Chains A and B, each alone.
Chain A
Amino acid sequence: MAMKPTDQEIATLYREAGASGPSAEIDRNILAAARAAVEKQATPAPWWTRWRLPLQAAATVCLVAMLAVMVGRHEPTPPVIPPLAMNQAGPAADSRLAAPAPEVTESVERRANQAPARAKTEAKTAVPAAAPFSTAPAQRPASSERAFAAAPTANSVAAEAENAPPQAKAEARAAPSAKAAARLAADEAMSPKAWLDSIRTLIDQNRPEEARKRLEAFTKAYPDETIPEEIRTRLKAMPDGGNVKQP
């Protein structure tokens, strides 16, 4: 830094001033803490701690797969009601307990295939709040009952999509560059915790490139903040994770 001689003189005088340094006790504390941190780091972690995260992930995947298989196997089959039993039973009879009869299976299946179309027409006239297992007339096939119950749901999902707020649609169409600029401006005012949360959100949204960029900016602004291990791990696990820079 270019300084005039007088500036240099002032700087020299300033350095000569014997400002008291830290006490010996503080020196000892800091050096002891530094040494302890390194010794702790040198102690190898037990093998199971290194495999904890992958094992957790594997266990979760297995559990989800098993649940999916079990749910698929135990899916209730549409009950088949023999015509004779339907005639004998009253409206309150529990037709779902009736044993399937081979001779009517085919016709029931045919009716079940027709059910969605019929359900649509019925849904327009019937009360949507009708219970799926209401004491409906016994003549109505069970498959039709289920379709009837499902019909309002399907319609409502479609309606929700149609009636999505225009603001949300506009947001979805927003230019990515504008979003990035706004995000950069917002980063300036963010606390470290909020910043890290936003990185997590980007990872959740499967946007590794942006997450990495934001992480780099974070480490520049807050060099002493510890980056949570899970963020590093998740970023590495993402596509192109090999490019993750060690901040």
Chain B
Amino acid sequence: MPERLPDKDFRTDEGLMLAYKHGDAAAFDVLYGRWRHRLFRYIAHQCGQNGVNDELYQDIWLRVVNARQQYEPSARFSTWLFRIAHNRLVDHWRASNRTPVVDIDFPDDEDFDLAAALPAPDTERPERVAERKALAEQIVAAVELLPDVQRETFLLAEDGEMTLEEIATLMGVGRETVKSRLRYAFGKLRQELSKWR
């Protein structure tokens, strides 16, 4: 199944969830197809253990199913979905006595910007394709090495497509804190990437 199915359903995520709430099981299939890969990636990069990933992922979707009657489209579906995922992850960390590592704020991220330049992708040449694939794998590895709060901020922004405000509400911090965490996360990723170029 591709990352976001090019489904022919023109309904929004919120419309699909409402339809499912009112008994349209096919609407859930479409919605699931749209979000399965992103949610799985969010869990996989947050947790990193294969068996646990599957369990958490399945549990989150079952929670979505069970909470369908309480769904109201007051916010985007992705915000609601990732809020459930975030709560489930926090439960998991509590159960395994793991506390998220607080990131250390650097005085500024100018150092990271020095290694910022990336060439435009050239997808036509085979060696470029191979190089790009290797870089993508390095990015994923670097994401998993980020401090917990920076990683979660990055994943919520990329996989959850959430805005700074939405992330701030979900994580219970200020917008500027989220912005700062995201900046440091990208800075570190750029730094890691520069080692491979």
Residue contact A222 to B72, C-beta cutoff 8 Å: no
Answer whether residue B63 sits at the interface, using C-beta atoms and an 8 A cutoff.
yes
Assess A37 versus B36: contact at CB under 8 Å? Given A6-B118, A6-B190: no
**A103: min CB distance to chain B, Å:** 74
Residue contact B25 to A13, C-beta cutoff 8 Å: no
B7-15, B37-45, B96-104: which one contacts chain A?
B37-45
Answer whether residue A176 sits at the interface, using C-beta atoms and an 8 A cutoff.
no
Chain A neighbourhood of B84, CB < 8 A: 223-224
Query: Chain A contact residues (Cβ within 8 angstroms of B): what range?
Result: 35 or more
With CB as the reference atom, state the residue of chain B lying closest to A222: B87
Residue contact B136 to A37, C-beta cutoff 8 Å: no
Residue contact B67 to A224, C-beta cutoff 8 Å: yes
Produce 1/0 per residue, A29-53, CB < 8 A to B. 1110111011101100000000000
Answer whether residue A197 sits at the interface, using C-beta atoms and an 8 A cutoff.
no
Residue contact B132 to A13, C-beta cutoff 8 Å: yes
Assess A16 versus B66: contact at CB under 8 Å? Given A10-B193, A21-B36, A26-B54: no
Interface residues of chain B, those whose CB is within 8 Å of chain A, are 1, 3, 20, 23-25, 28-29, 32, 36-37, 40-41, 44-45, 54, 57-58, 61-68, 70-72, 80, 83-84, 87, 116-118, 121, 132-133, 135-137, 139-140, 143, 157-158, 163-164, 186, 189-190, 193
Residue contact A223 to B80, C-beta cutoff 8 Å: yes
* Chain B facing A: main interface SS: helix
Residue contact A4 to B67, C-beta cutoff 8 Å: no
Residue contact B64 to A4, C-beta cutoff 8 Å: no
From A3, A16, A219, name the one whose CB has the most chain B CB atoms within 10 angstroms: A16
With CB as the reference atom, state the residue of chain A lying closest to B31: A34
Residue contact B190 to A22, C-beta cutoff 8 Å: no
With CB as the reference atom, state the residue of chain A lying closest to B135: A13
Complex Cα–Cα for A20 and B135 (A): 17
With CB as the reference atom, state the residue of chain A lying closest to B189: A10
Produce 1/0 per residue, A189-230, CB < 8 A to B. 000000000000000000000000000000100111111000
